[in-house]
Amino acid sequence: MRPESEAELAEMIAGAAEPFHIRGGGTRAIGLTTAPQVLETGGLTGITLYEPGALTLVARAGTPLVEIEAALAAEGQRLAFEPMDHRGLLGTAGVPTIGGVVAANVSGPRRVQAGACRDFMLGVRFVDGTGQVVKNGGRVMKNVTGYDLVKLMSGSWGTLGVLTEVSLKVLPQPETSACVMIDGLSEAAAQEVMSRAVTSPFEITGAAHAPGGPGDQPLTVLRIEGFAGSVSYRLGRLREMFSDHAVRVETDAHRVAALWRWVRDVEMMQGTGGDVWRLSVRPSAAPGLVADLRARHDIHRVLYDWAGGLIWVECASGTDLRPEGLSGHATLIRAAEETRLTLPVFQPEPPAVAALTQGIRARFDPKGVLNPGLMA
């Protein structure tokens, strides 16, 4: 089913006799749903408002992300939260949509400085599980109200409503960007370097560490962006800060962009055979957690992002990599269907939080027709 308007979508959901599997571009399918029929949002397309001077953009949920990025680039602007492209990691086809980005709260390496997708949301329109059209927030920054519901829809994976339109804050493209790179650090040493960098006054917009980098050697990378003079000054100060390490600097814009795509899209785990987990933890706990996982499981590859707050781990197929008593979240991103049938995709919630979640879902989707089973 592929509605071409919000009214048509509302009518479909209101008259639903069976549950729906909500699908945008089909590029971020990480979970299983028991829904027998597919509801696509790809017919709801188009940028409906773009005011570069006000740093705001409004688009229908099915609008391809590439179309939005092209419109922003033409005005020297961008989505600051740097959404990743899951296609290489998951082996999916299709075209990513802005609705899918918001529904999954997709946030890339710049989250460590700029914030997540939900932090740039100004407003939403969506159809809930009863077929009612709901509008929350505003279309421009000065008219934003009702942030709570706007943020609630970001990362709800289509279980509370089907997004039809999103309003976003955008930011200018930086004049230049550069990377500080340090080779050969242990994971504990890399964590210390990243922590010092992001807590410094030098506005780090990316901090990542790969124990097996592009040259299959440990590589720690720090990104800075902004006006050329400021970037040059901060590069010098970072060189001084880490003078006890062999620091390299990359200033070529294309190579810097390619390096951070490599981090953002987890290219080191693309086309490989293992399961992939995404762990969100306290950065200082990351090296110890990974060491413990290595001691107990067959770990293939590891990538630290968000200064250690986000860990990508590839392991042997069928492995339950979710530590007991984890202080954080572990999400199963890539696995065979038989593994997904036995392991929950998302971090199980404590009983009190689970009860609250079920109450919210019952309010927005009392018939249980929107992606049932996806986040169970």
Task: Quickly tell me which residue has 């070529």 as its tokens.
Answer: 252
User: How many Cα neighbours within 13 Å face the side chain of 119?
Assistant: 15
Beta strand segments in 174-322, E: 176-183, 204-210, 219-226, 247-250, 275-281, 299-305, 310-315
pLDDT grade for 147, boundaries at 50, 70 and 90: very low
pLDDT at 376 over 90: no
How far apart, in Å, are the Cα atoms of 202 and each of 73, 183, 215, 225, 226?
26, 21, 28, 10, 11
325-362: per-residue pLDDT in tens? 888 999 999 999 899 889 989 998 889 999 999 999 99
- From the list 246, 244, 207, the residue with the least C-alpha distance to 225 is 207
The pLDDT of 131-155, averaged and rounded, is 75
DSSP 346: S
Q: Assess contact for 205 and 112: CB atoms under 8 A.
A: yes
Three-state DSSP at 254 gives helix
DSSP 52: G
The pLDDT of 180-196, averaged and rounded, is 97
Mean pLDDT score across all residues of the chain: 92
pLDDT grade for 138, boundaries at 50, 70 and 90: low
pLDDT value, residue 323: 84
**Total number of residues shown for the chain:** 376
Q: Read off the tokens for 207.
A: 């901090």
258-276: per-residue pLDDT in tens? 999 999 999 999 999 899 9
